[in-house]
Structure 1
């Protein structure tokens, strides 16, 4: 007689009640979300709160942070002294190379842990980690070539943030396969070593709750189009690439290929909805339209782009052509989801000398337009569902209704109050897969993460 397997025990259901909740079809009142095994299994509108385990005033879906270099959090605010010949992205890059020289795996994990704590506190619930720090201080692979990828996964696991890991292929120091510089030695791989690195990342990513593995050719400076073609089949996840961030990059690409970077990439790589083009700051109108038509997401990082003096993305033309975008914290000089959205709009106001630019249509809330765009585009770019809807992870953010900038606001006015007036100070609680990680604006492990980070900075400064 064969044994019969016992029936699986259904996961328990937890119910959350929100007076106002932003669902996939807009705002609703008196909403009960049913959550089982980390996923939203039911949504009921017009309910009372008696059956709920938790009750809150305002619920938003967590935002995707589509572009982060976690290790750069270690020197946020540390490159703001003018040099002898003026400063630019390129002088900042040299300072970044010097800062990374002394970091070991424990340091990288501790720095990433604090960065991910701060992302959750800001309302980001998934991060796309554009991870290009791979090797030891001499540029040699660790015995486990994926050592630092595993440390990023460990930081995500410890903090609870969802992770889309994007191991970065970096082989060259400039267009045409130029030799890398000494400062880039910790980033460098060839196709064979990168394939091993990708393979080493599969298990640690799979061990994370709904982890996603993609990849990222660093840029057209660091990877040839032939190498990019060889990389794309290594995973079925998202493909991210830096492109056209700085005018020098545009000039160098023109000198090398006779084309501007975005046009060159679109003509030589199979760019489609799987791709995310980070920055894409400097485009001609025809490039902007072609990028939108490709289906690729524009990965915009307004705080970092302002900090580095990159320029302003042509957002209205891109949106008019049907383009999608998301936002990311990039260098992590400041981590604030609302501020990324606010600065995205404010940069357009400065460029166009107008107001409410990205609302795009009469009568539309600018805050609501920004949030909806970043939610949809960020989810596409990171290869994972987002939003408060059945079948999505229960990644939720509650806002403090008593905040002065949210008082007496309803519906889309809550977005406007949060993004343009309150910013990060209004985030109250954050749940990831239904688990409360942030309460009263503070991550449950903030103090431990802060102490580890402080110890790393003390060591690096010695």
Structure 2
């Protein structure tokens, strides 16, 4: 049995001092007072969240899309065209190497698991691999190599828009009809079953723009009782397109036609009315927020104060992986609310500080969205644990909610991370992933190859 001795820990009972956390078979076996005089493993032990939304391959694009194009009104859609051009190069070996690096960086940032929204399925030009699940297997292999918990979300992507136009260019690597997708999903399920014991699978109909109702129904059925993720109401142009075709806004249409419940995770939701915000909150679904990517792409600001104020569940993801940093992701959401409303401590409550609200939300929403028995330090839960050193100029030996506020808003929380356990696997030690040298060497070689053709 592994044992962690923490000077303080955030457990299901709140803040506790001097505790011993026992880990056995990937789960927390006990939490009890530490033996008198026992040397501390970490200053602070926290539940380590699941990153609920990632497109791993986009990590290789970081920094390549910040120059202005010929259109003075550069937008998400300009970025999207560049992404499709980038897709015309990637091989399975390259995709696996990029994903392993991404998952390594997530662990070093404090995430113990990831829900990979996996829509890159075919070879260049949309030609299916002989093994339809080839790239799903590569994601599983990358997660196994990095030692991160994985919820694989194979994506159904049928059309290039609500007019059902065929996929073109880089999009063709995403495309499946429902029958082929069912076959591919079965292969992905087998790959997940052969991976680490805590791996899980769900399904992701890409968006209302990219699937028809029959496809959406088929995808939901494939999920069984697993997670269902979908992009929703991200961009103004998307809302306009859905409204023109379906006579309803995206969130409105989805809630009117489906029994959205806690197994759903709707990604972004940055373009919702007040009524839609409250209705989605009441459904129990997770709003999957990616504040850094949403800021990078100019998506808009999520109605966080209203959504949380009505009991809504949120979680956090790194989406495009332009920057992988848990604490900055949380801070960006809070600052967006402050800038919009000209306020301070926008998401704090009468009994929890802003940092505590954000961190609790990341854990609760991430575990729910990933279908992972984690999110809290409690006996029987997955041993997803984040260890930090606060005896430095960044952590200042702070305690309780103030420690979380310092980590999130002080700007140096990442430097305080020393250890991360994912289902009991001790993958980060002294702030460094245990397989960093090998994984990063493969990644840098891939980047050197790609740079020649960009």
Alignment TM-score, normalising by the size of structure 1: 0.95
Tell me, yes or no, if the aligned pair for 1:246 and 1:281 is still in contact at 8 Å: yes
Matched residue SS, 1:457: helix
Q: In the aligned structure 1, how far is the partner of 2:37 from the partner of 2:357?
A: 30
What's the counterpart of residue 209 of structure 2?
221
Q: 1:244 aligns with which of 233, 238, 250?
A: 233
Partner of 1:131: 118
Q: Is the Cα contact below 8 Å between 1:32 and 1:49 reproduced in 2?
A: no
CA shift, 1:414, in A, is: 0.8
Q: CA deviation at 1:72?
A: 0.3
Shift of 1:153: 0.3
Whole-Å separation in 2 of the counterparts to 1:183 and 1:116: 24
Matched length: 447
177-186 or 330-339, which moves further after superposition? 177-186
Corresponding residue to 1:69 among 33, 40, 55: 55
Counterpart residue number, 1:79: 65
Match of 2:447 among 447, 451, 457: 457
3-state SS in 2 of match to 1:15? strand
**Structure 2 unaligned regions, length at least 5:** none
Distance in 2, matches of 1:210 and 1:48, equals 34
Change in Cα spacing, 1:257 to 1:57, as seen in structure 2 (3 Å) is same
Question: What residue is the counterpart of 2:87 in the other structure?
Answer: 100
Q: What do the CA deviations read for 1:226-256 (whole angstroms, capped 9, x no partner)?
A: 2111211112210000011000001111111
Aligned to 1:153: 140
What SS is found at the alignment partner of 2:36?
coil
- Counterpart of 2:288 in structure 1 is 299
* CA contact 1:49–1:55 (8 Å) conserved in 2: no
1-side partners of 2:161 and 2:323: how far apart? 29
CA distance in 1, matches of 2:139, 2:179: 22
Q: Is the contact made by 2:21 and 2:32 (CA closer than 8 Å) also made in structure 1? A: yes
Deviation at 1:131, TM superposition (A): 0.1
Task: Confirm or deny: 8 A CA contact 1:176 1:224 kept in the other structure.
Answer: no
Pairwise CA distance, 1:363: 5.2
Shift of 1:55: 1.9
- Deviation for aligned residue 1:49: 5.2
- Equivalence for 1:140: 127
Superposed, 1:262-277 pairs within 5 Å as: 262-277=251-266
Distance 1:461 1:55, change over 3 A: closer
CA distance in structure 1 between the aligned counterparts of 2:323 and 2:2, rounded to whole angstroms: 34
The alpha-carbon deviation at position 435 of structure 1 amounts to 2.6
DSSP 3-state at the match of 2:447: helix
Distance in 1 of aligned mates of 2:221 and 2:128: 23
Distance 1:146 1:48 in 2: 53
8 Å Cα contact 1:64-1:382 kept in structure 2: yes
- 8 Å contact from structure 2 (residues 394, 413) kept in 1: no
Looking at structure 1, the residues matched to 261 and 282 of structure 2 have their Cα atoms a distance apart, in angstroms, of 9
> Which residues of 2 match residues 152-301 of structure 1 at below 5 A?
152-207=139-194, 208-235=196-223, 236-301=225-290
- Please name the residue that 1:330 is paired with: 319
Contact 1:132 1:169 in 2 (8 A): yes
Q: Does 1:59 align with 2:67?
A: no
Contact 1:228 1:269 in 2 (8 A): no
In structure 2, the partner of 1:25 is 13
Separation of aligned partners in 1, 2:244 and 2:425 = 52
Output the CA distance in 2 between the equivalents of 1:438 and 1:137.
35
- Separation (CA, whole Å) in 2 of partners of 1:176 and 1:324: 33
Among candidates 355, 362, 379, match of residue 367 of structure 2: 379
Deviations 1:272-317 (A, max 9, x none): 1110000011111111111111111000000000000000000111
TM-score (structure 2 length as normaliser): 0.96
Match of 1:442 among 429, 432, 435: 432
Separation in 1, partners of 2:425, 2:207: 37
Shift of residue 14, structure 1, vs aligned partner: 2.3
Secondary structure, in 3 states, of the residue corresponding to 2:6? strand
Structure-2 separation of matches of 1:364 and 1:163: 30
Runs of 4+ off more than 6 Å: none
